[in-house]
A and B are shown apart, each in its own frame.
Chain A
Amino acid sequence: MAAYFLAQLKRAARIFPGQILVDLAVCVCVGALAFALIAQGADAAAGTRYRIGMVGDLEDSYLGFGIAAVQEMDDSRFMIELVPMSEQEAETAFLRGELYAVVRVPEDLLESIVYGENDRPITYTATQGQKGLGTMVMGEITNIASTLVTCSQSAIYAMQRTLADQGRGEEIGRETDKLNLALINLVLSRGAFGEVEVLGYGDGLSLELYYFCGMILLFLLFSGLLNSALFVHGNGAFSCFLKARGVGAVWQIFGEYLAYLLLVITGLLVLCLPLGFGLARELLGIPEWEGMGAAPFLSFLPILIPVTVMLAALQFFLFEAADGIVNGILLQLLSGIGMGYLSGCFYPSAFFPEKMRAFGEMLPSGAAVRFMQAGALGRIPAELWAAVFGWTAVFFILTILVRQSRIGRS
Chain B
Amino acid sequence: MGIINGLEAWHGGSRADGKVGVVNVMGFTARQEQGGCCSGRREGNGNLRYSGLGHGNGGMSMDVEIRGIKKAYFRKKVLTDISFSMEAGSCAAILGSNGSGKSTLLSILAGVRKADGGSFFYRGTDLFRCPGQIPKALGYVPQGDPLMEELNAWDNLRMWYDRETLKRELSEGALKLLGIDDFLKTPVRRMSGGMKKRLSIGCAVVSHPGILLLDEPSAALDPVCKENICMYLDAYRKEGGIVLMATHDAQDLELCDACYILRNGTLHSWEYGGDFHKLAEAL
Q: Hey, which bits of chain A sit against chain B, CB under 8 A?
A: 3-4, 6-7, 10-11, 14-15, 232-233, 235-238, 240-246, 407-408, 410
Contacts and interface: CB of A to CB of B under 8 A. Distances in A.
A245 B160 contact: yes
In the A-B complex, the 8 residue pairs with the smallest Cβ-Cβ separation, listed nearest first, are A237-B144, A241-B146, A244-B140, A246-B135, A233-B149, A244-B110, A237-B142, A238-B146
A405 to B, nearest CB: 11
Contacts of A238: 144, 146-148
B159 interface: yes
A233 B145 CA distance: 11
A235 B196 CA distance: 14
A152 to B, nearest CB: 82
A259 to B, nearest CB: 11
A10 B144 contact: no
B159 A7 contact: yes
B244 interface: no
13 contacts: A6-B159, A7-B148, A7-B159, A232-B149, A237-B144, A240-B107, A240-B146, A241-B140, A242-B146, A243-B110, A243-B111, A244-B112, A245-B160
Nearest to A237: B144
A15 B151 CA distance: 11
Given A237-B146, A242-B146, A244-B135, A3 B112 contact: no
Contacts, number: 76
Interface in B20-64: none
Given A3-B158, A238-B148, 16 more contacts: A3-B160, A4-B159, A6-B158, A10-B151, A14-B150, A235-B146, A238-B146, A240-B110, A241-B140, A241-B142, A241-B204, A244-B107, A245-B135, A245-B140, A246-B134, A407-B112
A3 B135 CA distance: 16
B140 A11 contact: no
B189 to A, nearest CB: 8
Contacts of B107: 240, 244
B168 interface: no
Contacts of B203: 241
Contacts of A408: 113
Contacts of B112: 240, 243-244, 407
A3 B148 CA distance: 13
B155 interface: yes
A244 B211 CA distance: 13
A7 B148 CA distance: 8
B111 A244 contact: yes
**Contact residues of A: prevailing secondary structure:** helix
A15 B206 CA distance: 28
B132 interface: yes
A236 B103 CA distance: 13
B83 interface: no
Interface residues of B, number: 31
Nearest to B146: A241
Contacts of B138: 244
Nearest to A11: B150
A7 B155 contact: yes
Contacts of B147: 238
A408 B107 CA distance: 9
A14 B151 contact: yes
A324 to B, nearest CB: 14
Nearest to B213: A244
Nearest to A15: B150
A273 B13 CA distance: 65
A246 B110 CA distance: 10
Nearest to B156: A7
Contacts of B110: 240, 243-244
B143 interface: yes
A410 B146 CA distance: 13
Contacts of A407: 112-113
A10 B113 CA distance: 29
Contacts of A11: 148, 150-151
Contacts of A245: 135, 140, 160, 206
A406 to B, nearest CB: 11
B109 to A, nearest CB: 9
Nearest to A233: B149
B144 A3 contact: no
A8 to B, nearest CB: 8
Contacts of B158: 3, 6-7
A3 B163 CA distance: 12
B159 A3 contact: yes
Interface string B101-129: 00000010011110000000000000000
B159 to A, nearest CB: 5
A237 B145 CA distance: 6
B143 A237 contact: yes
Interface in B228-281: none
Nearest to A13: B150
Nearest to A407: B112
A43 to B, nearest CB: 48
Most central of A3, A6, A15, A240 by chain B CB within 10 Å: A240
Contacts of B156: 7
A60 B63 CA distance: 115
B140 A10 contact: no
Contacts of B135: 244-246
B142 A7 contact: no
Contacts of A14: 150-151
Nearest to A229: B150
A243 B113 CA distance: 9
A15 to B, nearest CB: 7
Contacts of B145: 235, 237
